[in-house]
Amino acid sequence: MMTRMEKRNLAMGLLFASPWVLGFLVFTLYPLIMSIYYSFTSFNVVQPAVWVGLDNYRELFFKDPVFWTALYNTLYFTLFSVPLCLASGLGIAMLLNQKLPGQSVFRTLFFLPSIVPIVASAVLWLWVLNPESGLVNSLLMQWFGIQGPGWIASPEWSKPSLILMSVWGIGGAMVIFLAGLADVPPTLYEVAELDGAGAWAKFRHVTLPMLTPTILFNLVMGLISSFQYFTQVYVMTGGKGTPVDTTMFYALYLYRNSFYYLRMGYASAMAWMLFMVILAATVGVLVSSRKWVFYHGE
Amino acid sequence: MANSRKTVKTALKLGILGLLSIAFVLPFVWMLSTSFKHESRIFPPPGQPPQWIPTTDVRDDQGRTLVKFDGKSAVDLGAEETGRHHLLLDGKQVEAWDHEIEPLQQVGLHWENYSKAFEMMDFWQNLRNTLFICFCTVLGTLVSSSVVAYSFARIPWRGRDAVFVLVLATMMLPYQVTLIPLFALYSKLGWVGSFKPLIVPYWLGVPFYIFLLRQFFKTVPEDLSAAARIDGCSEFGIYARIILPLAKPALATTALFMFLFQWGDFLNPLIYLQDDRQYTLAIALQQFQSQHVSAWGPLMAMSTVITLPIIVLFFFTQRTFIQGITMSGLKG
């Protein structure tokens, strides 16, 4: 039996939580269930969904090469972009953490690109990477006399271009690394110095272990957003994933199936496959983190 | 000796930081520079270095352009269709071909890219739409998320912590999973093609901000609530008159992040807005880009206009910003 106080608290608690409860039921739980159902149907929104059993999943796995291309492109991007962004975010954060003059100005400069609206930065990079008159190729020509590649327009360079671009947006991860670095107790460095540790040893045996929780956080966030990479590539290729599907990312292909081809059942099956991939990657990282993440002082 | 080595090290680190930060800022400078250039300067002839500082033609007092011909400056009196120019050189009339002359340049800004972009995009309408959506979603998020966060932070109800885990779990759900059923739901309700799908969900609590505000509410001493309760204050009174005023920094962070997100949001307006009278700035820029693929002058002008308010906002709210990100990252 609940006491009167407990009953009152439950009523009040639910009353205050009721906006979220309503939102969860209508905008999360109901769509979640419907999404499973739609993934077994042929559905175009206009007409009622028609049950097709496992057809969508069968088509995904055995009949649709673009699905595999999209998955490959997304994994390729993730594999290079996420570690590169983590490493450069950490590197810049460490340089910034050294009480140098002008520190806050530098921090601002590195952070700015990450708050620019993605559409604007995508249009800007289209111009920066323009093969004829873009900034990068003009400078390559002026400084080194090299004819730069076609970047986003070239099948070989399109994905590396996007990976390069993603490094421009490391501001958020950098700020989180900075906060993590500020939490490392200075006494640890003093003790390490007494033991005769050099700069590398201090990084390897003090900074890195103490930062592992922060690395884990940035890694998981990076993975999740990288698997859903969409806006940049939509803007830069006009929603087409060109050239020859080399920038057909998973989320873009899913969008095309939903709103170009109106194959919403098929797209729902794709959404669930994506969810599984993200879940597997996240769980994999979290399980492995028991071996490499070091929690201190708790 | 040790001191001078330290100075060299510091200088080296500053040099690396300087070079890196220039690389990060250069695209912005390039954007701004392009937005003020005349079309003829945006695409320099092959082999020419990029122009950083925008220039304009030099004109004499009668508005005629000055050109360089044969190493001297001359007045361009006009050209025939064949490309033959009539020039006034040292008081004498001479003729020259297009490729033999070069217009004289002086530092100056071409504003016409901005006026062109404003005209082609229906800019003020797009701005009104964006601000309307920003306002409604920021207000909705502040009201709903703070009420819900109060429940999770300050009322000890049975099952609360389990439900809170559910709130956190929904943050992990990729949006693609609910995308299609939501679209189907909204089209059944007749909401597609209106602002409703972009606004209504934000009035029902946003998990990330519920989390953020809950963390903050928990730091307020329980004694304050207890004292107010003894004075006969209702639960809603405690929320509105004690907790909210103390949580101003967290509320500011919430408003700021939400505004920023909505200002640049792309996917939702792309799906739900169909009439170009409803477009937000982000959508309008993308549409404009897809129709004028190489109009780089107006495109960079528009990108500047969309980016600049965000940068200005950032400079005024830097501390709130950095604290917010740190808060979301470290306590997570």
Q: How many domains does chain A fold into? A: 1
Residues on chain B touching A143 (C-beta within 8 angstroms): none
What DSSP line would sit under A228-252, residue for residue?
T--HHHHHHTTTS--STTTT--HHH
What pTM value is reported for the model? 0.91
Answer yes or no: is B33 within a domain: yes
Give yes or no for a contact between B147 and B244, defined as CB atoms under 8 angstroms apart: no
One-letter amino acid at A279 equals L
Give a yes or no: residue B59 inside a domain.
yes
Tell me: cis bond preceding B50? Omega within 30 of 0 counts.
Answer: no
Residues of chain A with C-beta less than 8 angstroms from the C-beta of B25: 109, 112
Report the C-alpha gap between B17 and B10 in whole angstroms.
Answer: 11
Cβ atoms within 10 Å of B15's Cβ, excluding its own: 10
Quote the ipTM score: 0.91
Task: Inform me whether the C-beta atom of residue B314 falls under 8 Å from chain A C-beta atoms.
Answer: yes
Asked whether B51 and B33 are in contact (CB, 8 A), the reply is yes
Range of the domain at A195: 71-292
Question: Do residues B146 and B101 share a domain?
Answer: no
Provide the b/e sequence for A9-48 (b: ≥16 CB within 10 Å). bbebbbbbbbbbbebbeebbeebbebbeebbbbbbebeee
Mean pLDDT value across chain A: 93
Same domain assignment for residues B23 and B91 = no
Q: Taking CB atoms and an 8 Å limit, are A235 and B174 in contact across chains?
A: no
- Across the interface, whether the CB atoms of A176 and B330 are under 8 A apart is answered yes
Q: Most A CBs within 10 Å: which of B8, B12, B24, as the mutation test of the A interface?
A: B24
Min Cα–Cα distance to chain B from A156, Å: 22
Read off the pLDDT band of B264 (50, 70, 90). very high
B282 chain-A contacts, CB cut-off 8 A: 117-120
The answer to whether residue B139 neighbours chain A at the CB level (below 8 Å) is no
Task: Tell me, yes or no, whether B135 and B91 share the same domain.
Answer: no
Q: Is the Cβ of B203 closer than 8 Å to some Cβ of chain A?
A: yes
B217-254: per-residue pLDDT in tens? Answer: 998 999 999 999 999 999 999 999 999 999 998 999 99
Number of separate domains in chain B: 3
Which of 17-56 (B) contact A at CB < 8 A? 17, 20-21, 24-28, 30-31, 34, 42-44, 46-47, 49-50
Whether B83 and B159 share a structural domain: no
Residue A11 lies in a domain: no
B300 and A CB contact within 8 Å: yes
Mean pLDDT of the region B125-137: 97
pLDDT (average), residues B296-303: 94
Interface of B with A in 87-126 (CB under 8 A): none
Q: Is A127 within 8 Å of B158 when comparing Cβ atoms? A: no
> Do B82 and B127 lie in a common domain?
no
- In B, minimum Cα distance to A227 occurs at B174
Provide the residue-wise pLDDT of chain A in tens; the chain has 298 residues: 678 889 999 999 999 999 999 999 999 999 999 999 999 999 998 899 999 999 999 999 999 999 999 999 999 999 999 999 999 999 999 999 988 888 889 999 999 999 999 999 999 999 999 998 889 998 898 888 888 899 999 999 999 999 999 999 999 899 999 989 988 999 999 999 999 888 899 999 999 999 999 999 999 999 999 999 999 999 999 999 988 999 999 999 999 999 999 999 999 999 999 999 999 999 999 999 999 998 765 4
CB contact under 8 A, A100 and B14: yes
pLDDT tens digits for range B92-106: 888 888 777 888 888
Q: Do A175 and B322 touch (CB under 8 A)?
A: yes
Question: Does the distance separating the beta carbons of B24 and A113 come in below 8 Å?
Answer: yes
Task: State the count of interchain CB pairs (< 8 A) between A and B.
Answer: 266
The shortest CB-CB distance from A20 to any of B44, B167, B173 is to B167
* pLDDT tens by residue, B146-185: 999 999 999 999 999 999 999 999 998 999 999 999 999 9
The verdict on B89 and B229 lying in the same domain is no
Q: Do A127 and B210 touch (CB under 8 A)?
A: no
In a domain, B60, yes or no: yes
Asked which of B87, B107, B127 is the last residue of a domain, the reply is B107
- Is the minimum CB–CB distance between B261 and chain A shorter than 8 Å? no
**Which of B89, B107, B125 is the endpoint of a domain?**
B107
CATH at A258: 1.10.3720.10
B185, B282, B315 member nearest A117 (Cβ) = B282
Q: Which residues of B touch A141 (CB under 8 A)?
A: 47
Q: Rounded to whole angstroms, how far apart are CA atoms A80 and A164? A: 10
Q: How far apart are CA B31 and CA A124, in angstroms?
A: 7
Whether residue B161 contacts residue A26, with contact meaning beta carbons closer than 8 Å, is answered with: no
User: Is residue B169 located within the same domain as residue B281?
Assistant: yes
Based on the fold, state whether residues B294 and B170 are members of the same structural domain: yes
Cross-chain Cβ contact A110/B173 below 8 Å? no
Residues B120 and B90 both lie in one domain? no
Asked if the structure places residue B78 within a domain, the reply is yes
Residue B50 lies in a domain: no
User: Can you tell me the distance from the alpha carbon of A158 to that of A168, in angstroms, rounded to the nearest whole number?
Assistant: 16
Task: Establish if B103 belongs to a structural domain.
Answer: yes
Query: For residue A52, what are its two tokens?
Result: 């097709």
In a domain, B47, yes or no: no
Residue window 172-191, chain B: list those with CB within 8 Å of chain A. 172-185, 187
Q: Which domain holds residue B16?
A: 2-41
